[in-house]
């Protein structure tokens, strides 16, 4: 129970159906010094809202301290990914590595058979095989199956998504009818642990901490962290220097704003007639501290490779036709996915190649690519 309307309604629906429900909320940061907010959720007010909802629907409520787990599994990964020239997806790590792993273990300590959340997704058991399928939520505008692609069969088997079969408006209407105190609470839009949605300052501070403390959390080296914060060059596709930057972690593939370059700089540098053409980040080169920029057309790609692939359906022995989604708000596009021959069984080394029928814009390392067959999640992995 995050204190938002979705998880509150999920708890209320299960209680109304006669289930024995226990409300659990995660404390994700140190509150000992009076801090009351941590980004856009997980604040003291949110924990208080969750407790008020639990009281309203007459279920017990507990707050579990996941501060260490959250730092190790989500925040450290977030900083390391940006410092490596990749764009992280913390919500997916939080869901698989924290909520449906650590939380499931804690739930078993309560004697619980399942873990329910307010995600807009669905799970169904395939009768013939006994396999658990993950499906999109019926509200396509709110669907969150993209963030759940890495759930294992064991995790899916104990997952329950009570609001996944109804639209958001109906969820809020139910909350109002039940008199839940969060019925009109706004949805959170930002990364939950980033104050003011300023991820650059957040990463700056943690890279500096790692540089100053050799025994700190980031195991990629103080010297490397310090160098990543240093300025570097912004170059075009031919390697010509167009400007400077203050750290590659401040950029992501597909970015247009904040480059500090004139829109016609590429045309001028190449000797062509001056022509206003917006520039976008095409690639990040951490070893050289370079940000590569170019026109939008250069962002188009038809292929990508992914690692850490998790197959929710049986691993395909032959190329498989799917619709592949490369960002949360990206429209899944027709593609063929091929699991790498000879890949070992461990999830960490499982890889795949995805070939799209048509070019896609801004395929971004560090984000997830998720494969769909209709509304069923086939699997997914992390874009290399």
Active site residues: 94, 192
Those residues whose C-beta lies under 8 Å from the C-beta of residue 83, and which sit 6 or more positions away, are 203, 207, 218, 220, 224, 225, 228, 248, 249, 286
| Cβ atoms 41, 188 nearer than 8 A | yes
Q: How many CA atoms lie within 13 A of 160 on its CB side?
A: 16
In angstroms, the CA 282 to CA 48 distance is 44
The pair of structure tokens assigned to 80 is 């390391």
What does the alpha-carbon distance between residue 273 and residue 291 come to, in Å, rounded to a whole number? 24
Residues 211 and 218: their CA atoms lie apart, in Å, by 9
Q: At CB < 8 A and 24+ separation, what contacts does 265-274 make?
A: 266/236, 266/242, 266/293, 266/294, 266/295, 269/236, 269/240, 269/242, 270/236, 270/238
CA pseudo-torsion sign 136, 103, 155, 305? positive
Any idea what the Cα angle at residue 111 is, between residues 108 and 115, rounded to 5°?
55
């Amino acid at each position: 129970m995050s204190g938002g309307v979705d998880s509150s309604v999920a708890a209320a629906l299960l209680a109304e159906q006669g289930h024995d429900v226990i409300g659990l909320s995660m404390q994700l940061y140190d509150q000992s010094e009076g801090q009351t907010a941590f980004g856009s959720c997980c604040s003291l007010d949110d924990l208080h809202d969750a407790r008020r909802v639990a009281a309203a629907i007459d279920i017990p409520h507990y707050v579990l301290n996941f501060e260490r787990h959250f730092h190790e599994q989500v925040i450290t990964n977030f900083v390391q990914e940006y410092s490596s020239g990749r764009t992280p997806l913390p919500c997916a790590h939080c869901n698989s590595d924290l909520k449906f792993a650590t939380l499931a273990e804690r739930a078993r300590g309560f004697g619980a058979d399942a873990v329910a959340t307010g995600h807009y997704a669905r799970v169904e058991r395939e009768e013939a095989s006994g396999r658990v399928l993950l499906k999109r939520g019926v509200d396509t505008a709110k669907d969150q199956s993209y963030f759940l692609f890495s759930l294992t069969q064991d995790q899916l088997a104990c997952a329950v998504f009570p609001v996944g079969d109804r639209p958001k408006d109906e969820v809020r209407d139910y909350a109002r009818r039940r008199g839940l105190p969060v019925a009109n609470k706004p949805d959170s839009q930002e990364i939950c642990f980033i104050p003011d949605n300023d991820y650059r300052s957040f990463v700056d501070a943690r890279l500096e901490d790692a540089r100053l403390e050799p025994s700190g959390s980031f195991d990629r080296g103080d010297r490397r962290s310090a160098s990543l914060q240093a300025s570097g060059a912004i170059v075009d596709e031919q390697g010509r220097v167009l400007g400077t930057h203050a750290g590659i972690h401040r950029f992501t593939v597909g970015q247009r704003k904040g480059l500090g370059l004139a829109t016609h700089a590429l045309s001028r540098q190449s000797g062509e007639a001056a022509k206003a053409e917006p520039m976008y980040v095409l690639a990040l080169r951490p070893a050289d501290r370079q940000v590569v920029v170019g026109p939008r057309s250069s962002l188009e790609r038809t292929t990508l490779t992914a690692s850490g692939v998790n197959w929710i359906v049986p691993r395909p022995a032959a190329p498989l036709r799917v619709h592949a989604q490369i960002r949360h708000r990206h429209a899944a596009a027709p593609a063929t996915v091929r699991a790498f021959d000879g890949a070992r069984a461990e999830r960490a080394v499982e890889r795949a190649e995805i070939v799209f029928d048509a070019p896609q814009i801004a395929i971004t390392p560090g984000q997830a690519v998720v494969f769909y067959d209709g509304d069923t999640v086939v699997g997914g992995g992390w874009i290399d």
